[in-house]
Amino acid sequence: MPEADTKKHQPVMLHEVLSALGCNAGAKKRYVDCTLGLGGHAKAILNATSPSSSLIGIDRDGEALQIAKNRIGDQSDRFISRKGSFQDLLQIVGDLNQTDLDGILFDFGISSFQLDTAERGFSFQSPGPLDMRMDRQSGSPASDLINQLKESEIKTMIQDFGEERWAGRIASSIVQHRSDKGEILRTEELENIIWHAVPARFRHGRTHPATRTFQALRIAVNDELEQISTGLEAAISLLGVGGRLVVISFHSLEDRKVKQCFKSWAKKYPEPGEKQYINLYKKPLIAGPDECLRNRRARSAKLRALERAA
C-alpha cells in the first residue's frame, strides 16, 4: 500500500466543521464521520471534544481506513473504525449499539491520497489504470464502463453526472477509438481522447477538458449520488435531539441533493409551530480565501448543516 503524508493532506473547512458540529470540551458526545478518509476531520473532532466523547469512522476505502487508524493512534480508546459504504451506516451504528447521535459528518470530496495514487486511476494528471473504485475489492473499474457501454449510454452518463457540454462529441470519440484501436484501459488514453474531442478553442480554459468526464465516471463507478441519498436518510434517523448533520459537497450535483434533503426535512412539524429540523445556515458556508490559497481543493467546497430540534 502506498505511503501517505498526512501532513500534506489537510481536511477541508476544518474550523467550520468543528463549529457546525458544536464540538467542545464539555459534555460527553458521540460522533460519526461517515467519510473518514485519512482521518483529518476525525482527529480534530477528538482533539476538540471531551475525553469521554467518542467517534465512529467509516470509509469504503480500506487503504485510506488503515492510514486513518494509524493517524488517530493516540486517541484509539475513543475511536472505532469500520469499513463500509453509506448504505451500511444503519447496520454499523446499530451493531455498536449507538443511538441518538450528537453529530454526523459527511465529506463527499475525493481524498488527496486517492487522487495522488496513480494506480487508483482517479486522476487524468497521472498515468495509471482506469479504475476509480473507492473500494478496490468490489465492483467494476471505470474501464469496464468505458469499454462496454453504448455511445448513447456514455453520452448520458457524461451529461448527467459531469454536466459536460461536449458529452456527445466525447462519447462518439470514445466509441470510435474502441473501434479503431481497441479497449481503453489507461487514464492517459482517455484523457487524450477527450482532449481531441473537445473543440480546440475550448481546451485551454480554467478547467481541464477531461475534468467533467472523469468526475462522471467516478460517480457512476461508485454509485455516488444514490449512496448520498441513502446515507443522508440513514444519518437523519440516527440524530438525537440537538444532534447535528454536517455535509461538505464539492460539485453542484452533490450540493443540490443535500440542499433538497435539508429543505424537505426543515419543513417537518411534529407539533403545530414546532420544527423538527432547523437549517443552521441560510446559505452554504464556503472556504475562506486563505484556505483556498493553501488548498486548491477547498475552492469548490460547500458546507451545509442541519440540527434536530425536536
Q: What is the pLDDT of residues 7-32, one digit of tens each?
A: 557 899 999 999 999 999 988 999 99
3-state secondary structure 102-119: EEEEEECCCCHHHHHCHH
pLDDT higher than 60, residue 102: yes
Q: Which of 172, 195, 222 is the last residue of a domain?
A: 222
Question: Do residue 228 and residue 215 come from a single domain?
Answer: no
Give this prediction's pTM: 0.92
**Pair (174, 131) in one structural domain:** yes
- Looking at the fold, whether 103 and 79 belong to one and the same domain comes out as yes
Residues 93 and 215 in one domain: no
Classify residue 125 by its DSSP letter: T
Residue 187 counted as domain residue: yes
230 and 201 co-located in one domain: no
Q: What is the CATH number of the domain that holds 151?
A: 1.10.150.170
Together in a domain, 173 and 257: no
Our count of domains for the chain comes to: 2
pLDDT band at 6 (very low <50, low <70, confident <90, very high): low
Q: How confident is the model at residue 1 (pLDDT cuts 50, 70, 90)?
A: very low
Both 214 and 230 in one domain: the answer is no
Residues 145, 92 share a domain? no
Residues 6+ apart with CB under 8 A from 53: 27, 28, 29, 30, 31, 46, 78
The last residue of a domain, from among 161, 193, 222? 222
**Chosen domain end from 190, 222, 254:** 222
Q: What is the mean pLDDT of the chain?
A: 92
Range of the domain at 130: 122-222
**Choice between 106 and 3, residue whose per-residue pLDDT is larger:** 106
